[in-house]
Amino acid sequence: MNDGAISQCRATRIVTLRAPTMNQPADLDPSELELLLSRAAKGDSSAWRSVVGLFAPRIHGLVRAHCLDHNLAEEITQSTLCTVAAKIGAYIESGRFESWVFRIAMNRLRDEMRRRARQARSMPDDAMQAMHAAKTANPALGEDVRRSLETALARLSEGDREIIELRHLGGMSFRALSDYYEEPIGTLLARHHRALRKLKGLLEGLGIDGSDVGAVGS
């Protein structure tokens, strides 16, 4: 990693990560993003901080929703952005930055969850309970709503859960989702609609209106 990448990587640590909620997808102007990326790739620290400010909360929210562990979410967010800082100079896929970043983050998360699952098989029950108790709650939602949302998401298939979280927690556009999944936008729109319908049904079964969790269904 060169000096510029090291400096940019360190800059990721100064960003305050917001608590995750079911956010509206970020509305990024593609041309402005590409300009920021170009400046960041040339070592512009101000541009890099802007990139981090745009993506760190979205990566953190997505990872936090999967692992329910604030510290791990911060670790993966920083690790992802450090990788991006090291490789941004070679980034040439114009218009696909979002899908590239989130693919790195999700791969890191899957690797870490597999590693933890292997460790968990040999851990005593009291240690597992202590780990579960240490997981931080999401202060942005009421406790009952937060638990119901987590329960409903956990009951979805992995594919349905992932597309909802990438869209509403990661804030990915459908164009970025199309790049991420390598599927047509129309297919992703249909998948997203079906997944939301299932989530709403599960929430209603738990006595929660979908509107109680923010932008679900938007």
Read off the pLDDT of residues 133-179 as tens digits, 9 standing for 90 and up.
434 444 455 677 778 888 888 899 999 999 998 988 888 889 889 98
Q: How many domains does the chain have?
A: 1
25 or 169: whose pLDDT is higher? 169
* In a domain? residue 176: yes
Q: Is 40 a domain residue?
A: yes
Q: Is residue 208 part of a domain?
A: yes
Determine if residue 122 is left, alpha or beta; phi over 0 gives left, psi from -120 to 50 gives alpha, anything else beta. Answer: alpha
Indicate whether 87 belongs to any domain.
yes
CA–CA separation, 196 and 90 (whole Å) = 37
Give the model's pLDDT for residue 204.
86
Say how many C-beta atoms besides its own lie within 10 A of residue 170's C-beta. Answer: 29
Structure tokens at 79: 């690790």
Residue 112 CB contacts under 8 Å (≥ 6 apart), including other chains: 67, 72, 76
Residue 41 lies in a domain: yes
pTM above 0.75, yes or no: no
Parent domain of 104: 3-213
Residue 193 is predicted with a pLDDT of 92
**Residue 211, pLDDT score:** 58
Residue 189: band (very low, low, confident or very high) from pLDDT cuts 50, 70, 90: very high
pLDDT value for 125: 47
Residue 218 in domain: no
Predicted confidence (pLDDT) per residue in 52-110, tens digit: 999 999 999 889 888 888 889 999 999 999 999 988 877 766 678 889 999 999 999 98
